[in-house]
């Protein structure tokens, strides 16, 4: 019997999207370790700057990143990096996305316009991404095809529904992203 040491492959995944779409919630729900969060209380300085439509009860915001980990199997570990959603913190995105295998663009269909910068970011950098429609009240009133058309994304980009509060739902999104990314890599090497 061999006591071979297995060194897992680390895979970096970015969870991105607009302000208040559920990025911190998703990382928290799926991480097997207590996630690192850099949340601060929203202050008067954000009044008139941050779009609080439909998220009036939001009291904190990510100012740098969220970090979590999930072990897929002994050979593969996903490291999750949640981005800050506000424009003034977007300078962090290049660092957070550096070396990422893929990304999840989390969207709230009630405020779909906040998704465009995230999609543009990953398209310009040729980082594979999927769109995950978070299950806020009323957000599933649209079909996947309606969301795809509204976001004007390539037909090959997966659009999935999720509830970022639920671990199993968030895991399914991660699995779909990994499958999609592997398919993209296989096509590129063919």
Does residue 116 form part of some domain? Answer: yes
Q: How many domains does the chain have?
A: 1
Does residue 60 form part of some domain? Answer: yes
pLDDT tens, residue by residue, 47-79: 455 554 555 555 555 555 788 999 988 888 999
Does residue 1 form part of some domain? Answer: no
Does residue 3 form part of some domain? Answer: no
pTM for the whole structure: 0.83
Does residue 2 form part of some domain? Answer: no
Angle between helices 167-189 and 23-30 (to 10 degrees): 100
Does residue 164 form part of some domain? Answer: yes
CATH of the domain at 23: 3.40.50.300
Domain hosting residue 17, numbered range: 9-189
Please name every residue paired with 130 in a beta bridge, in sequence order, or none if there are none. 104
Does residue 108 form part of some domain? Answer: yes
Q: C-alpha angle 133/122/55, rounded to 5°?
A: 40
Residue by residue, pLDDT tens for the chain (190 residues) are: 557 777 778 899 999 998 888 999 999 999 999 877 666 565 555 545 555 455 555 555 555 578 899 998 888 899 999 988 666 667 778 888 999 999 999 998 888 888 999 999 999 999 999 999 998 765 677 888 999 999 999 999 999 999 999 999 999 999 999 999 999 888 888 8
């Amino acid at each position: 019997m061999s006591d071979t040491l297995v060194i897992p492959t680390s895979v970096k995944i970015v969870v991105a999207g607009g302000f208040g779409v559920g990025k911190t919630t998703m990382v928290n729900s799926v991480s097997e370790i207590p996630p690192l969060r850099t949340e601060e209380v929203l202050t008067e300085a954000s009044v008139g700057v941050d779009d609080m439509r439909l998220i009036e009860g939001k009291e904190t915001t990510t100012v740098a990143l969220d970090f979590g980990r999930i072990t897929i199997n002994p050979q593969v570990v996903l490291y999750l990096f949640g981005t800050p959603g506000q424009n003034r913190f977007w300078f962090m995105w290049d660092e957070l996305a550096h070396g990422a295998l893929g990304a999840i663009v989390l969207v709230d269909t009630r405020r779909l316009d906040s998704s465009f910068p995230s999609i543009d970011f990953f398209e310009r950098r040729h980082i594979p991404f999927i769109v995950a429609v978070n299950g806020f009240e009323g957000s599933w009133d649209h079909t996947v095809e309606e969301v795809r058309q509204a976001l004007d994304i390539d037909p090959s980009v997966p659009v999935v529904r999720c509830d970022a509060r639920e671990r199993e739902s968030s895991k399914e999104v991660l699995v779909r992203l990994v499958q999609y990314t592997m398919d993209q890599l296989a096509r590129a090497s063919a």
